[in-house]
Amino acid sequence: MDWANILSSLIGTVIGGIITWLVSKRYYQRASEDLKNETKELRRLITLTLDGLEIGGLVEIARDGKGNILGYNFLKLRPSESVNVSDNPIVQIKPEKPG
């Protein structure tokens, strides 16, 4: 092998490496940004869900001074009243009166 082939292979490898690095960097930057956006949306939806559960009296939420959720506890549900349902339905079939 002569020096021209070795140098040509070395330059091709370096240029290929630079192109691969640039493409990979761009791909992972976009993937990272997508992940940040998805995380932001999921955090918003989880906060809405927990707020709804708190309003409904199903959870108790611990918050910091800025209102960020630090943790939550599910409250035990206890029936506050007893409900009895009873009825005595009577089913009758009556023939239609003519005309």
Q: Are 46 and 61 in contact (CB under 8 A)?
A: no
Model confidence, pTM: 0.54
Task: Give residue-wise pLDDT tens across range 16-60.
Answer: 999 999 999 999 999 999 999 999 999 999 999 999 988 888 888
Reported confidence tier of residue 3, pLDDT bands at 50, 70, 90 = confident
The span from the first CA to the last CA of the chain, in angstroms, equals: 113
For 9-18, 30-39, 56-65, 69-78, which range has the lowest pLDDT when averaged over its residues? 69-78
Tokens of 68: 């960020």
**Per-residue burial over 37-62, b = 16 or more CB atoms within 10 Å of its CB, e = otherwise:** eeeeeeeeeeeeeeeebbeeeebeee
Q: Which of 82, 53, 80, 57 is nearest to 69 (CA)?
A: 53
68 vs 24, residue with greater confidence: 24
Question: What pLDDT is attached to residue 1?
Answer: 66
C-alpha dihedral sign at 13, 18, 24, 28: positive
Domain boundaries, the chain: 3-74
74: CB partners within 8 A, 6+ apart:
58, 59
